[in-house]
Structure 1
Amino acid sequence: MRKSARIAALATVGLLAAGSLTACADEAASTSGKGGGKGEKVKIMVGGLDKVIYLPAMLTQQLGYFDAEGLDVELLSEPAGVQAETALVAGQVQGTVGFYDHTLDLQTKGKHVESVVQFSHAPGEVEIVSNKVAKDITSPKDFKGRKLGVTGLGSSTDFLTKYLAVKNGVQVSEFSPVAVGAGPTFLSALEKGSIDAGMTTDPTVAMALEKKIGKVLVDMRTPEGSQEALGGPYPSSSLYMQTDWVNGHKDTVQKLANAFVKTLKWMSTHSADEIAAKMPADYSQGDKKLYASAIESTLPMFTEDGVMPENGPETVEKVLKAFNPNIKNATIDLGKTFTTEFVEKAAG
């Protein structure tokens, strides 16, 4: 669902030499963009602008909070978080709205990025199983030999799928991950049998249920669901940025944090219908009721203050170490994967 309205797209970019990253980001920050050059220019890549799990990005723009901070923010979109991560590391954008777990993965590769605003304390993800095989797949224990949909290989849906499998006795080599994106491509794959099950978010979840092509197998849209599936809070959606850029542009980062924390507080005091009404009209794909319902189902995942949940980083590390050999054999400095400096000032 929500196939539409890509604000912009970047061409596939290769990783640039570390010494050139900050220079590229600085150049991008100084160019005028869609806002007509008013305010300080910042480019943020989102791993799917129309996904409810990343809703604070567009909502902040819709509420005018970026403008109020004197920022000219250009939101761009890639269908999977791993592609948004690549754009950040390549210096094409100053920030990424994506899953926090990428900060750990990147640290093992010598890339230092950190979450500066933590939108969530649960993944917001749902494992949907096709109605055609629902009798045969009743838990992740039944993943063996199956084709499992993920947004992209190396994405957070890929990470979480592998963890659920390994946790339930199925080795990573015993199932086939299939990159199917989200929205209509995911729904088509599920309907046609290209995948037996898959991990996705709202409103794709709501649409799959409405079309009666799938059933919920694992629901991680709430802190309780995260606890049951993953053993603790799982910080996911966040604004993460290159550490060097953060340290060199603290005023800009503070303005971004101010805007996002305002949005999270606004969300905590407004209904799903009120939030849906603020979003671009085409995000509802002609069904406002279904879109509001999708937002309501996902709202429990969001924080109210942008602060990293206690023990959240440890849960993420545990999940990644279960299947990722790079992280399993690496020493991760969790303190360098996030900062609360800016959200604490924003709250104050």
Structure 2
Amino acid sequence: MILKKTACLTLTAVLLTLAAGCGSAPVPAASPANGASSTAPAPKPEPKKDEPLKTVKFSEVIRSIFYAPHYVAMQKGFFKEEGLNVDMNTAQGSDKGAAALIAGVADISLVGPETAIYIYNQKGDKTLKIFHQLTMKDGSFLLSRNKADAFKWSDLEGKSVIGWRPGSAPQMVLNNKLLQEKVGKVDVVTNIASTAMAGAFTSGKGDYIQVFEPIASALEKEGKAYYATSVGQAFGAFPETSYVATSDYIKNNPETVQKFVNAVAKGAKWLSNASPDEIAEALTPFFEGTPKDVIIQSIDRYKKQDTWPAVPELTADQFETLQKVLIDNGVLKPEQKIADMSTVVDMSFVKNIGKAGK
């Protein structure tokens, strides 16, 4: 196996990447779906008229159904109910999402929690803190160019896989799984931009591709790829994506952070109880051109692998798993391991979800 090691994220490099630009990740073109909800949608709650909405500048790592609870919270009005207006952009990378926080152009970012560890170890003027754990599995799926009856990890021997950039969570999870399965001589291609991966595969590059939903289901529907396996389900529990802010922002805006966490929790609860048609209706505005059946299949896959934890808390065991993966992939030196997770983690807001006055 060819492992693409990378040095820890440097603060200077992170800030330079900010200029790379933002924008929602495109999804494969298709006719929009306008299926009706099985029940009449509940009216969107509104904040008190005498309380203006507070704008939160928010940066998501990529556009994916992997982050469905957040989009639901926006579409169903749960952020507005908490008195917040979320101004969202798509960073196309955890490094860029972290850069946005450090530069002050974002208040909250949805990124890989490893970014908080990287920034802490740079000993700069600012540190990041993880305050909500949105996902508890890797969100990528492995698709093959040729159809096979049953996928085995040994099938990757001597093959090429279009994967994610070095040091990113999906790239490290895949590498760790290959190590666990003792699969060698795999060419994991890590130098293709996330927005160009699907196009590279459909144009003939790679034997396999590692992608998130709804891209995975869209490629399947178009007959351009075949489902092999869920990387997240195969690897097991892993804290892949978290809400993060600077320590200063959290200290100066605790009420805003609590309201933000409350809104996302409402989105996750709604998502767990809503029908497939209702979910598709809520998510369609964020995935224009993506067919309804692709959205439904994407949600079904993420639900089946327990992507969204009932309690969105990053625990000590999960933090240990995260740091082990970073060390195994050579992006964190053993001596840089953080012993006290409270240095970069604050789960007090999650623990206050649903409490009176919170």
Kept in 1, the 8 Å contact 2:158–2:186? The answer is: no
Q: TM-score, normalised by structure 1?
A: 0.77
* Cα deviation, residue 325, structure 1: 4.2
Determine if the alignment matches structure 1 residue 331 to structure 2 residue 337. yes
Alignment match of 1:293 (pick from 288, 294, 297): 297
Alignment match, 1:119: 134
* Residues 215, 337 of structure 1: alpha-carbon distance in 2 compared, 3 angstrom cutoff: farther
Query: Counterpart of 1:76 in structure 2: which amino acid?
Result: N
1:48-94 CA distance string (max 9 Å, x none): 23x01122222211111111111122011123333222222322101
Counterpart Cα distance in 1 of 2:279 and 2:62: 18
1:293-324 CA distance string (max 9 Å, x none): 11121133012332225622122122111112
Alignment match, 1:204: 215
Alignment match, 1:5: none
* Residues 40, 74 of structure 1: alpha-carbon distance in 2 compared, 3 angstrom cutoff: same
Counterpart Cα distance in 1 of 2:321 and 2:185: 20
Alignment match, 2:103: 90
Alignment match, 2:280: 276
Alignment match, 2:114: 101
Query: Counterpart of 1:237 in structure 2: which amino acid?
Result: T
* Residues 103, 195 of structure 1: alpha-carbon distance in 2 compared, 3 angstrom cutoff: farther
Kept in 2, the 8 Å contact 1:47–1:79? The answer is: yes
Alignment match, 2:352: 345
* Cα deviation, residue 144, structure 1: 6.2
Greater mean deviation of Cα atoms: 278-287 or 114-123: 278-287
* Cα deviation, residue 262, structure 1: 1.3
Determine if the alignment matches structure 1 residue 46 to structure 2 residue 52. no
Kept in 1, the 8 Å contact 2:164–2:189? The answer is: no
Kept in 2, the 8 Å contact 1:147–1:195? The answer is: yes
Determine if the alignment matches structure 1 residue 252 to structure 2 residue 244. no
* Cα deviation, residue 95, structure 1: 0.7
Counterpart Cα distance in 2 of 1:172 and 1:127: 17
Q: Secondary structure at the match of 1:247?
A: helix
* Residues 288, 39 of structure 1: alpha-carbon distance in 2 compared, 3 angstrom cutoff: same
Counterpart Cα distance in 2 of 1:88 and 1:322: 27
Alignment match, 1:188: 199
Kept in 2, the 8 Å contact 1:114–1:338? The answer is: yes
Alignment match of 1:267 (pick from 271, 274, 277): 271
- Over the aligned positions, Cα root-mean-square deviation in angstroms equals 3.0
Kept in 2, the 8 Å contact 1:147–1:196? The answer is: yes
- Greater Cα radius of gyration, structure 1 or 2: 2
Counterpart Cα distance in 2 of 1:120 and 1:149: 23
Counterpart Cα distance in 1 of 2:264 and 2:284: 18
Higher relative contact order (CA 8 A, sep 6+): 2
* Residues 180, 168 of structure 1: alpha-carbon distance in 2 compared, 3 angstrom cutoff: farther
* Cα deviation, residue 44, structure 1: 0.6
* Cα deviation, residue 101, structure 1: 3.0
Q: Secondary structure at the match of 2:88?
A: strand
* Cα deviation, residue 156, structure 1: 2.1
Counterpart Cα distance in 2 of 1:212 and 1:56: 29
Alignment match, 1:149: 162
Alignment match, 1:179: 192
Kept in 2, the 8 Å contact 1:164–1:229? The answer is: yes
* Cα deviation, residue 46, structure 1: 0.5
* Cα deviation, residue 244, structure 1: 2.4
Alignment of 1:310-329 (within 5 A): 311-329=317-335
Query: Counterpart of 1:207 in structure 2: which amino acid?
Result: A
Counterpart Cα distance in 2 of 1:103 and 1:172: 32
Counterpart Cα distance in 2 of 1:204 and 1:114: 30
Seq. identity, %: 20
Counterpart Cα distance in 1 of 2:190 and 2:254: 39
Alignment match, 1:25: none
* Residues 116, 269 of structure 1: alpha-carbon distance in 2 compared, 3 angstrom cutoff: same
Gaps of 5+ in 1: 1-12, 17-36
Query: Counterpart of 2:58 in structure 1: which amino acid?
Result: I
Query: Counterpart of 1:264 in structure 2: which amino acid?
Result: A
* Residues 260, 317 of structure 1: alpha-carbon distance in 2 compared, 3 angstrom cutoff: same
Kept in 2, the 8 Å contact 1:94–1:245? The answer is: yes
Counterpart Cα distance in 2 of 1:269 and 1:172: 44
* Residues 169, 91 of structure 1: alpha-carbon distance in 2 compared, 3 angstrom cutoff: farther
* Residues 276, 345 of structure 1: alpha-carbon distance in 2 compared, 3 angstrom cutoff: same
Determine if the alignment matches structure 1 residue 241 to structure 2 residue 245. yes
Query: Counterpart of 1:320 in structure 2: which amino acid?
Result: L
Counterpart Cα distance in 1 of 2:226 and 2:333: 32
Determine if the alignment matches structure 1 residue 304 to structure 2 residue 310. yes
Gaps of 5+ in 2: 1-12, 17-50
Counterpart Cα distance in 1 of 2:198 and 2:186: 25
Kept in 2, the 8 Å contact 1:145–1:176? The answer is: no
